[in-house]
Amino acid sequence: MVLAGACTAIPSAAPVRVVSSPAVAARPASPPPGPAPVAVAPSSRPSPALVSIIETLGRNFNGSVGIAVQRVDAGWTIAHNGNKLFPQQSVSKLWVAMTMLDAVDRGKITLDTPVMIRPADLTLFHQPIAAMVKGSGYQTSLRDLFYRAMTQSDNTANDSVLRTVGGPDAVRGYLARRFFGPDTIRFGPGERLLQSQTAGLTWSQEMSQGRRFYTARANLPRSVREKALDAYLANPIDGASPLAIVHALAKLKKGDMLSPASTQLLLSTMSEAKTGPQRIKAGVPAGWSYLHKTGTGQDLAPRSTGYNDVGIMTAPDGTSYAIAVMIGETTLAIPQRWELMQSVARSVAALHRR
């Protein structure tokens, strides 16, 4: 368990005294409106109960998991395995999006920049845009590709954005300028090389067609797949720590990662994500909002890997929490993974203001 402040330790804030207004007689014909949400002065330290719950959830989970929660306005952070690097999988699309929007902010490109996607650009796994890439290709805009990558987690759309902004080195450079190095947030080689290497394959573009990747992977000896997967999990080339991710999300929310316009665009787009509705989002109570990015890695039965959800929960009073739940490896069924993620969200909400 890691319990960290924003910078150095700060003495606990004095208790907030709540003073009730004098009672007012009810008016049958015109009842007074209900009270508006009232923001509570942020405490410099989290609730001990929340610290205990996060530790218990992480410790009792059957698998490798990292959990981090940061209150954006106060800066305090709770974490279980917070500094360990976990596979990001599609969580890394966040950094591609930020790199693109940073290039827009610097006047290097525009969201209306045309992008042509050809059959040679197709990737694998989830790529809905592939259905539109026929013959000589499909032309669209950077804005459209960004939206598809962030809301549908379209791998080909994301790789096309990545190629347009300058490839993996451009993303690594952006992260470094924001003080996130390879010891906290890594960025891999792109979808095709990441997934083929994790499976124990050498990428060939024909694997992007139909189920050819699945067939090639299934034809590998199990020992080859196990060796490749074990190597990936031990030292993930796209690894990131839960603490670094919630710190980056908090900086995004505060406007420290992008311009105000780009910050708002990214946050609003994340709020439209269609992926992972039963992960953290299903534990967010009514009246709260949640915007996020999921990630899902490969399975090698009975193991599942890289099952993630990271995002920002906001209370009715406007208080925001950056949250990351990253399951590196587990044999648990999907509903049990959902329960862990939902429990984190429910606990944060239940102990808000305490």
Interval 93-134: pLDDT, tens: 999 999 999 999 999 999 999 999 999 999 999 999 999 998
| Helix (H), strand (E) counts: the chain | 11, 11
**Which of the pair, 38 or 194, is modelled with greater confidence?**
194
Predicted confidence band of residue 1 (pLDDT cuts 50, 70, 90): low
Whole domain around residue 216: which residue ranges?
A: 44-350
At 280, the amino acid letter reads I
- Specify if 39 maps to a domain: no
pLDDT for 3 beyond 70: no
pLDDT for 32 beyond 70: no
- Specify if 29 maps to a domain: no
- Specify if 14 maps to a domain: no
Total count of domains within the chain: 1
Pick from 171, 158, 167: nearest CA to 122: 158
For the chain, the distance separating the N- and C-terminal CA atoms, rounded to the nearest angstrom, is 20
Specify the pLDDT at position 30: 44
Predicted confidence band of residue 48 (pLDDT cuts 50, 70, 90): very high
- Specify if 17 maps to a domain: no
Q: What is the CATH number of the domain that holds 316?
A: 3.40.710.10
Task: Taking residues 160-184, report their average pLDDT.
Answer: 98
Please tell me whether the peptide bond between 35 and the residue prior to it is cis, using omega within 30 degrees of 0: no
- Specify if 19 maps to a domain: no
Average pLDDT, the chain: 91
Per-residue pLDDT tens for 177-213? Answer: 999 999 999 999 999 999 999 999 999 999 999 999 9
Predicted confidence band of residue 256 (pLDDT cuts 50, 70, 90): very high
- Specify if 7 maps to a domain: no
Predicted confidence band of residue 18 (pLDDT cuts 50, 70, 90): very low
Specify the pLDDT at position 198: 98
Whether 309 and 268 have beta carbons less than 8 Å apart is answered as no
- Specify if 234 maps to a domain: yes
- Specify if 37 maps to a domain: no
Whether 37 and 316 have beta carbons less than 8 Å apart is answered as yes
Provide the whole-model pTM.
0.88
